[in-house]
């Protein structure tokens, strides 16, 4: 979530290839009323699944200025393929959004970026970029940028609804950027529901971290060159403040009394330093993955086969025909994103270790 990313998105106007309706046939939209607001989410059922068979549920949250459909198709390179591969139901909630001067803004409320002007610890510097304020926040602070809505309750309700139709076993949450902040916050708020959290390209807001009261596995992925939500430095390029990734990991390790640690370097097109803590309470696993070459994107999404270098790419600010009211640019087909990086993270979310 950064001014830099927003501006780059606005000037990036590639040739768009519209999505064929046949590609959307297997993912459905569910509209609902929650807290007197119109809300919706997208749901994908894996091939050969049935309502009678036990199945896991994986919920993914888009980032700032993103959409549910753009998150599935572009940010993750087509996350539904992993629902088929590992046999789980995939759900993508849509956050509230607003339009200001023709630009689209959206994000979930992780209970930090919607703080009122009376909060003791501000979450941004004095010269931080000023993001648009959501109208449902009565007393926004100068740093607030999230809607003042009960997104945690919204997600809890959709879980309850889905459980009425399917025999849900384990539930996992993950998210990108501010969606990662929200995924971790939801896991902290409802550890009795969640088995694992994957926080991608985010950590937690400085001074407002959280730890679940019950053991929950956590994987945090970030990139050394990420300036939007830096994994090491506290201050981001837009002036917002974040906890260092190492501190968030250590808080979980201490809370769940992990006894064993190992680290390794994983090399594919990019290089990753993985630190993992095991033999924790209730056999949870705590993992940090640092990309030494990537930016504010999923692993290897920005890798260029021609130059053999990585870069930031503006994925996920689009929408498919499942979300026509958003009026965003149409998502692109055939981006040819190598699934290795997303699969690498999904395995950690689901605790699939080879």
Q: Which of 173, 149, 180, 145 is nearest to 39 (CA)?
A: 149
Asked whether the whole model's pTM tops 0.75, one would answer yes
CA separation for the pair 48, 87 (Å, rounded): 9
- Tens digit of pLDDT for each residue in 8-27? 333 333 333 333 333 444 89
Q: Which of 40, 46, 45, 56 is nearest to 93 (CA)?
A: 40
* DSSP H or E segment with residue 160: helix 151-165
The domains found in the chain, sorted by start residue, are 3-349 (3.40.50.1820)
- Tens digit of pLDDT for each residue in 156-215? 999 999 999 999 999 999 999 999 999 999 999 999 999 999 999 999 999 999 999 999
Q: What percent of the chain lies above the pLDDT cut of 70?
A: 91
- Cβ count near 6 (within 10 Å): 19
Buried b (16+ CB within 10 A) or exposed e, 69-96: bbbbbbbbbbbbbbbbebebbbbbbbbb
Calculate helix-pair angle for 178-189, 151-165, nearest 10 degrees. 70
């Amino acid at each position: 979530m950064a001014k830099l990313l927003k501006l780059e998105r606005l000037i990036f106007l590639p040739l768009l290839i519209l999505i064929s309706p046949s590609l959307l046939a297997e993912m459905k939209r569910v509209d609902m009323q929650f807290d007197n607001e119109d809300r919706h989410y997208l749901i994908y059922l894996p091939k050969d699944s049935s309502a009678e068979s036990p199945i896991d549920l994986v919920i993914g949250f888009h980032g700032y200025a993103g959409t549910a459909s753009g998150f599935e198709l572009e940010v993750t390179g087509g996350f539904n393929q992993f629902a088929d591969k590992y046999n789980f139901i995939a759900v993508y909630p849509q956050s509230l959004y607003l339009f200001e001067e023709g630009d689209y803004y959206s994000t979930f409320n992780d209970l930090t970026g919607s703080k009122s002007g009376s909060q003791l610890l501000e979450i941004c510097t004095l010269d931080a970029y000023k993001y648009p304020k959501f109208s449902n926040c009565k007393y926004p602070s100068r740093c607030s940028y999230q809607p003042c809505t009960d997104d945690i309750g919204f997600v809890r309700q959709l879980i309850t609804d889905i459980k009425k139709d399917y025999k849900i076993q384990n539930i996992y949450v993950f998210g990108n950027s501010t969606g990662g902040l929200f995924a971790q916050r939801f896991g902290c708020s409802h550890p009795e529901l969640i088995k694992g959290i994957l926080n991608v390209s985010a950590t937690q807001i400085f001074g407002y971290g959280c730890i679940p009261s019950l053991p929950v596995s956590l994987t945090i992925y970030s990139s050394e060159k990420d300036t939007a939500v830096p994994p090491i430095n506290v201050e981001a390029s837009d002036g917002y403040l974040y906890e260092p990734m190492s501190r968030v990991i250590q808080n979980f390790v201490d809370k769940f009394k992990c006894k064993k640690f190992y680290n390794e370097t994983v090399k594919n097109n990019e290089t990753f330093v993985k630190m993992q803590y095991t033999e924790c309470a209730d056999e949870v696993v705590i993992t940090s993955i640092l990309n030494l070459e990537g930016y504010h994107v999923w692993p290897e999404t920005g890798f260029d086969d021609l130059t053999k270098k990585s870069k930031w790419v503006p994925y996920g600010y689009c929408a498919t025909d499942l979300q026509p009211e958003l009026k965003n640019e149409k998502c692109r087909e055939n981006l040819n994103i190598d699934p290795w990086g997303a699969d690498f993270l999904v395995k950690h979310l689901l605790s699939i270790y080879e």
